C-alpha cells in the first residue's frame, strides 16, 4: 500500500515535471524563434491603456478615458463626402502618393508655414508613425529625441536596433528642448561629426506646449551649425489653440522634414494618412524611404488619398471647423489646467493639441507613504480608485520614479460640442458654461484627480 | 599677357576641381547617411515598369500594359457601397483589426479552405506585402522561397539583413516547388535543426499555376517532418479559374499561416487590405507581429476595414462576381497561352490568377545574334519594338541570362467585360468571340509577341 502511494506520487511528480518542462520548452522555443530586438516590447502603451479602459467599461465601471490621444471631433463633412465620392477608386497609387494630393500638401505647407515646399518633396504614408519608422530605418546616424517624448520613437529605434540619444527636459523647461539644453547636449557629444537627426514634436505630445519664435530660431541655428537634420513632427500644428503655429522649417529649411497628417487636426486618426515634406536638399532621403515603402505598404489606400485632397485644400468650411475645434480645446484645456494647478499639481497652461502633462511631485511624500514609487503605480492606483485613466510618464521616457503622467482632454462628444460652438460667432469666446455643458466628463474627471490628491 | 592667361586657366581649373569635389562629396555623404542594406535596391520592379509604361503612353505610344499585376475588375458594388456607408468611421481600430472583420475572415477560411480558423488568429494589415515584411522582421530563422517567386520577398529580406534560401524550379517543374525538389533541398540543408519558414504562393505569381492535392499533401508532410513553418500566400486563391482552390493549411494546419486580402479577387489592390490567418500553435507569431504593427502602421484604415466585412462575408452577389471574373480570366488566359505555345514560346496553361510565365529559350540563338543576353534586355527590346510591356524573369529571382518573363493578362476594361459576362448564364461558357470583343488588346499584344519572335 505504501509502495503504491509512493509510486503514484512519483508518477504524479514526473507528469508535473514533464508538463512544466514542456511549457518551459515551448516558451523558450518561441523566444528563440523571434527577433531578439523585440524582447520586452509590448503593445504601444497608448493602445494598451485604451484597451484596458474599454475592458473596465465593459465591466460596468465608469471610466474617464484620458489615456488615448484621439481627436473627439468628427471628420469634416466635406472630407467624408469626398471619401464617399471616391469609394470606387481601386488602382494602386504611386508609392510616394497621388500627385495631386502631394501638390495639395505642398501648397498647404507653403501657405500655413511659409516654406517653399514642392510636390516632389512630399511623401504620403499610412500614418506619420509608419513614416517615422521608415525614416529611422533608412537614416544612418544617431537619432536624438527630447524627453518627455511621444511613445513610439524609442520602441521603433529598438525594433531597428538603432542607437537613440535622449535629451532630458523638465517641468521647469516646459518639458521642451530649450536652446540651452540643446547647446549643452551638443557640447557633450562625443563624436561631434557623426550624422544625427533630431526629432522635435510641437505642439507637444505629451506636453501640450510649443516653442516661441526666438527658441525656434536658436534651435535652428544650432542644428545648422552642427549639421543636424530635424524631423519636425507637427501633427498637432493646426491645433495650436490660437491658430498661430510656427514651423522650424521656416528657419532651417534645408535641414528640416515636416511631419503632418489627417489624424489630429482633421479628426481622422483611424483613416491612417500621414505626410512628410522634404526640402530639395533632402530628396535623397525621401527617395530611399520610397524604396522601402514600395517593398512594404506599397501606397496609401486610394479612396483615403482622394478624400485627403479636400482636407489639405482647406477653404472657409475647413477653417471654420478648425477655429471651433481650437476654441473648444483651448477652453476645456485651460480650465482643466487651472483646476489641477489649484490642487497643487504642476502643469503648464496648454498651447496646442489636447494634452496636459501632470507633475505630481508635490505629493511625493504622501505617495511614498502608501507605497507608490513609480508613475505606473500612480496611474494604476488612480484608475482603480477614481476611474480616471491617464498615461504614466514612463511611457514617454520619463524616469520610472518621477510622478508624471499625460492627460488627454478628449473624453467628450466632439460632434455635439462642435455643433454648439458653431452657433456662436467665430470672433466671440465660448460662453462660461460651455465646458460644463459639453465637456462635463472632463471637468468631473479632473475633479476626481484633485480630490484624490487632496485625500492622499 | 601670358601670365594673365595662365592665372585665369589655373583659377578655372581650381574652380572646376572644387565643384567636382563638392559634387562627389555630396554624393558620398548621402550614401554614408543611409542604411547600407538598402544599397542597390530600387523601386520594386512591378511598380517601376508601370510608371515606365505610363510615361510611354504619355508620349503618345501604344503600350500593351502586361507588366503590372492589377485586377482589371471593379470592386463589387456592394463592397463600394459599404465603404460609402462607413466613410465617417474615424476611430483608431485595434491593432490586429476590427473584431467583426477578423471573425468574418476566419469564417471565410473555414468555409473556403476547410480549416478551423478562429478570429483570434486573424491579423489585418495594410496589404499582405506589409504583413510579409513584418513576418520576416519578427521570425528568427531561415526564409525559404521558390524561384520564380514574387518580386518582394527577397528585397524585403535584404532590407532586414536576413538570409534567404532559394529553391530553384524550372519550366519542367511547372515553375513550382515539387515534393522532390523540396526533399532534395531538405537533404542538402546544412543546419537541419535551424528554424525555417517556407513561403509558397499559389495560384502563383508569376507563374499562374497551382498544386495538385497530392503535391500539397506531400509538401505538408515534408514540412511537418522537418519542422518547417509555411507562409501560404493564397492571395490569388479565389481566382483559381475553376473555383476549386486548395490550401495547404488543410494538410498542415498547425504550421501554416494563410495570407489573403482584397487586392486580387476583390479587385481592390489600391485599397490596401491584407490578412494573415494563424493556427493556434502560431498565435505567438501573430502577437509579436502585432507589437511591431502597433509601432508602425497602427491599424488599417477604419472605413476600409468596415467595407471589407461585406467582401469576406460573401453571399450570392459576390459568388456571381467571382464566377464571372474566373470565366473571363480563364478564357483570355487560355487563348493567350495557346497562341504563345503555337509560336514556340514555352508556357503552361493557366490554372488561376492572371499571369503567364513565358520561356523564350527556344529563341536563344536568335536573341544572342542580336546581342540580347538577359531577360531584362529582352523585355526592353520587346517594349521598344512592339509596345508590349512584360516583366523580365530576373525580377522574379530567375537567372539574369534565362529568357523568361511574366505577362499579366489584365489590360482590358474589366467593368465592360464583367457586364457582358453577366448577361450569359453562369453555367454556360463565354461565347467564342468574347475575347475578341472584350479583351482585344490582350490578343493584339500577344500577336505582337508571336510576330516578334517569328521575325527574330
Q: How many CB pairs under 8 A join A and B?
A: 216
What pLDDT does A42 receive?
77
What pLDDT does B23 receive?
43
Tell me, what's the ipTM?
0.91
B136 touches A at CB < 8 Å: no
* Chain segment B395-434, per-residue pLDDT in tens: 999 999 999 999 999 999 999 999 999 999 999 999 999 9
Instruction: Give pTM, 2 decimals.
Output: 0.92
Of the residues B258, B291, B313, the one at which a domain ends = B313
Q: Is residue A107 part of a domain?
A: yes
Q: Residues of A with CB below 8 A from B83's CB? A: 83-84, 87, 303
Interface of A with B in 171-200 (CB under 8 A): 195
Q: Is residue A30 part of a domain?
A: no
Q: Residues of B with CB below 8 A from A130's CB? A: 296-298
Chain A: residue whose CA lies nearest to B160: A160
Residues B65 and B157 in one domain: no
From B46-55, B110-119, B359-368, B438-447, the region with the lowest mean pLDDT: B46-55
Residues B387 and B287 in one domain: no
Interface of B with A in 143-162 (CB under 8 A): 152, 155-156, 159
Residues B279 and B376 in one domain: no
Contact B271 A302 (CB under 8 A): yes
Instruction: Place B331 in a pLDDT band, splitting at 50, 70 and 90.
Output: very high
Residues A259 and A124 in one domain: yes
Closest in A83, A126, A195 to B33, CB measured: A195
Residues B121 and B196 in one domain: yes
Residues A337 and A292 in one domain: no
Q: Is residue A7 part of a domain?
A: no
B414 touches A at CB < 8 Å: no
Q: Is residue B1 part of a domain?
A: no
Residues B325 and B409 in one domain: yes
What pLDDT does A9 receive?
65
Domain of B196 in residue numbering reads as 78-313
- Domain tally, chain B: 2
Q: Residues of A with CB below 8 A from B43's CB? A: 95, 290-291, 294
A22 touches B at CB < 8 Å: no
Q: Is residue A15 part of a domain?
A: no
Of the residues A279, A297, A314, the one at which a domain ends = A314
Q: Is residue B281 part of a domain?
A: yes
* Chain segment B122-144, per-residue pLDDT in tens: 999 999 999 999 999 999 999 99
Q: Say if residue B38's pLDDT is above 70.
A: yes
What pLDDT does A24 receive?
43
Residues B247 and B276 in one domain: yes
CA distance A269 to chain B (A): 6
Residues B54 and B101 in one domain: no
A74 touches B at CB < 8 Å: yes
Residues B287 and B327 in one domain: no
Closest in B36, B38, B129 to A298, CB measured: B129
Chain A: residue whose CA lies nearest to B415: A88
B301 touches A at CB < 8 Å: yes
Closest in A43, A50, A298 to B127, CB measured: A298
The CATH number linked to A265 is 3.40.640.10
Residues B309 and B321 in one domain: no
What pLDDT does B431 receive?
96
The CATH number linked to A345 is 3.90.1150.10
Q: Is residue A165 part of a domain?
A: yes
Q: Say if residue B13's pLDDT is above 60.
A: no
Give, for all 456 residues of chain A, the pLDDT tens digit.
556 666 666 656 555 554 444 444 444 457 788 888 888 787 667 666 777 777 788 888 899 999 888 999 999 999 999 999 999 999 999 999 999 999 999 999 999 999 999 999 999 999 999 999 999 999 999 999 999 999 999 999 999 999 899 999 999 999 999 999 999 999 999 999 999 999 999 999 999 999 999 999 999 999 999 999 999 999 999 999 999 999 999 999 999 999 999 999 999 999 999 999 999 999 999 999 999 999 999 999 999 999 999 999 999 999 999 999 999 999 999 999 999 999 999 999 999 999 999 999 999 999 999 999 999 999 989 998 999 999 999 999 999 999 999 999 999 999 999 999 999 999 999 999 999 999 999 999 999 999 999 999
Average pLDDT over residues B266-276: 96
Of the residues B292, B313, B334, the one at which a domain ends = B313
Q: Residues of A with CB below 8 A from B36's CB? A: 140
B415 touches A at CB < 8 Å: no
Q: Which of B272, B308, B410, B418 best probes binding to A when mutated, by most A CB atoms within 10 angstroms?
A: B272
Q: Is residue B107 part of a domain?
A: yes
Residues B354 and B422 in one domain: yes
Quote the CA–CA distance of A268 and A80 in Å, as a whole number.
Answer: 10
What pLDDT does A124 receive?
98
Amino acid at each position: 500500500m505504501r509502495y503504491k502511494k509512493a509510486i503514484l506520487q512519483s508518477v504524479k511528480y514526473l507528469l508535473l515535471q514533464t508538463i512544466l518542462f514542456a511549457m518551459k520548452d515551448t516558451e523558450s522555443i518561441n523566444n528563440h524563434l523571434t527577433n531578439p530586438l523585440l524582447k520586452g516590447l509590448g503593445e504601444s502603451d497608448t493602445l494598451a491603456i485604451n484597451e484596458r479602459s474599454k475592458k473596465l467599461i465593459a465591466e460596468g465601471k465608469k471610466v474617464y478615458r484620458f489615456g488615448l490621444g484621439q481627436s473627439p471631433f468628427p471628420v469634416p463633412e466635406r472630407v467624408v463626402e469626398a471619401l464617399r465620392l471616391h469609394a470606387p477608386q481601386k488602382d494602386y497609387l504611386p508609392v510616394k502618393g497621388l500627385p495631386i494630393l502631394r501638390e495639395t500638401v505642398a501648397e498647404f505647407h507653403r501657405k500655413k508655414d511659409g516654406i517653399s515646399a514642392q510636390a516632389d518633396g512630399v511623401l504620403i504614408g499610412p500614418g506619420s508613425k509608419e513614416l517615422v519608422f521608415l525614416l529611422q530605418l533608412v537614416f544612418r546616424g544617431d537619432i536624438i529625441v527630447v524627453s518627455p517624448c511621444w511613445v513610439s520613437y524609442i520602441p521603433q529605434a529598438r525594433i531597428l536596433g538603432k542607437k537613440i540619444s535622449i535629451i532630458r527636459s523638465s517641468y521647469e523647461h516646459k518639458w521642451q528642448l530649450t536652446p540651452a539644453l540643446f547647446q549643452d547636449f551638443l557640447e557633450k557629444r562625443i563624436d561631434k561629426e557623426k550624422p544625427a537627426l533630431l526629432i522635435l514634436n510641437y505642439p507637444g505630445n505629451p506636453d501640450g506646449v510649443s516653442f516661441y519664435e526666438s527658441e525656434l530660431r536658436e534651435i535652428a541655428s544650432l542644428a545648422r551649425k552642427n549639421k543636424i537634420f530635424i524631423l519636425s513632427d507637427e501633427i498637432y500644428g493646426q491645433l495650436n489653440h490660437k491658430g498661430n503655429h510656427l514651423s522650424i522649417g521656416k528657419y532651417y529649411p534645408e535641414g528640416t522634414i515636416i511631419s503632418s497628417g489627417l489624424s489630429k487636426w482633421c479628426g481622422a486618426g483611424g483613416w491612417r494618412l500621414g505626410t512628410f515634406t522634404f526640402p530639395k536638399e533632402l530628396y535623397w532621403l525621401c527617395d530611399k524611404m520610397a524604396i522601402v515603402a514600395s517593398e512594404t505598404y506599397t501606397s496609401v489606400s486610394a479612396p483615403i488619398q482622394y478624400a485627403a485632397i479636400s482636407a489639405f485644400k482647406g477653404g472657409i468650411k475647413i477653417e471654420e471647423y478648425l477655429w471651433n475645434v481650437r476654441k473648444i480645446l483651448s477652453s476645456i484645456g485651460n480650465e482643466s489646467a487651472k483646476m489641477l494647478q489649484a490642487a497643487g499639481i504642476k502643469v503648464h497652461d496648454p498651447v496646442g493639441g489636447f494634452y496636459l502633462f501632470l507633475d505630481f511631485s508635490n505629493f511625493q511624500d504622501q505617495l511614498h507613504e502608501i507605497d507608490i514609487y513609480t508613475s505606473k503605480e500612480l496611474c494604476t492606483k488612480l484608475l482603480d480608485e477614481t476611474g480616471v485613466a491617464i498615461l504614466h510618464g514612463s511611457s514617454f521616457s520619463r524616469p520610472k520614479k518621477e510622478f508624471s503622467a499625460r492627460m488627454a482632454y478628449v473624453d467628450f462628444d466632439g460632434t455635439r460640442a462642435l455643433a454648439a460652438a458653431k452657433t456662436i460667432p467665430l470672433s466671440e469666446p465660448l460662453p462660461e458654461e460651455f465646458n460644463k455643458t459639453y465637456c462635463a466628463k472632463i471637468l468631473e474627471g479632473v475633479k476626481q484627480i484633485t480630490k484624490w490628491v487632496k485625500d492622499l
